[in-house]
Amino acid sequence: MDRTQKMSGRACGKLILFGEHAVVHGYPAVVAGLPRGATASVAAAAEHQLTLVNGRNGERIARARPTEDTKLGKAFNAILSKLQMALPINVNVTIDIPVGAGLGSSAAMATAAARAVATFAGMTDNLSVIESAVHESEAIFHGSPSGIDAAAALGGGAFKFQRNGDQSSMEAIWVDPVRIVICEAGPPADTKEMVQKVTNFYHTRENAVGSVFALISELVDEAAPALAEGDWQRVGDLMNINHGALVSLGVSTPALDSACHIARQAGAYGAKLTGSGGGGCVFALTDDRTEDVLEAWKDMGYSGFEMTIP
């Protein structure tokens, strides 16, 4: 291989449509891979270095070496180790979604980087090693991730996801393209801390929290066929209920609740937080009311952007 060449890799962001937090405890969730995510390039260098760049404004987010005692440095080291990359390389990752806001930025970063490094190393056929590198990187960022972010980053599309111990299952869901809007409704919280917060709540109020998880599971089961049928009003109603369930788990905020309320008032079918909560993003199912919702958010000081899923 010509080591002067630059190799590249791509990955999807993720949007949890239904099932946050419950999915960590073995309940199902519905997820969509986002058309935006991350792209990475790899080239030979004097030393190993990873640079993250914000694709929306071109600013550098972070830079790390695998020897550094930081989450990013450790994640980079995990990717290099799994892919047995001893030759010094420079990895540049451009992230096109908000970072740390519940849209799977860390999994998208790891997947794009792992794919680019694997291509550089001539290991593109070894999917299991790439998956292992992504999961180990995610564990550094999130402690005990459900695997849902990595699944979306690696595969894209819309799917029903469920974890059972160390194993997970995925069932593809056909969804007609539909417009959504995503709102950054506050600074993101630490995913690991939010997951642990709900886990602690579950351990102290097992019956009550278990009932909330069971409700969320029912919403997932009803949402999958509604998405496949394009019954957007039904999907929106289920989103609103799911948001209420997440509020009861203590992971919403006044800003997240406000952004959801504004979107519904502007004509969205439904709106809910996405990801671990505590801050970050909400999304609204809008279809032909996209501009109305974006304008309503803007009037209240929130920034948003449009996407089409799946």
Is there a single domain that holds both residue 156 and residue 23? Answer: yes
- At residue 1, the pLDDT reads 45
Query: What is the residue-averaged pLDDT of the chain?
Result: 89
Q: Which of 172, 189, 219 is the last residue of a domain?
A: 172
Say what the pTM is.
Answer: 0.85
> Which CATH number belongs to the domain containing residue 201 in this structure?
3.30.70.890
d(CA 275, CA 260): 14
Q: Could you give the CA distance from residue 310 to residue 43 in angstroms, rounded to a whole number?
A: 32
Report whether 104 contacts 37 (CB < 8 A). yes
Which CATH number fits the domain that encloses residue 48? 3.30.230.10
Whether residues 185 and 112 fall in one domain: no
Domain encompassing residue 285: 178-309
Average pLDDT for residues 111-123, to the nearest whole number?
88
Residues 146, 47 share a domain: yes
Mean pLDDT for 289-294 is: 94
Give SS3 for 123.
Answer: coil
Q: 166 and 183 share a domain? A: no
Q: What pLDDT shows up at residue 175?
A: 87
Q: Which residues pair with 90 in a beta bridge?
A: 43, 49
154 is written with which tokens?
């690696």
Q: Could you tell me which of 48, 46, 38 has the C-alpha nearest to residue 10?
A: 38
Cα(114)–Cα(94) distance, rounded to whole angstroms?
14
User: Which pLDDT band, with edges at 50, 70 and 90, does 202 fall under?
Assistant: very high
Domain count, the chain: 2
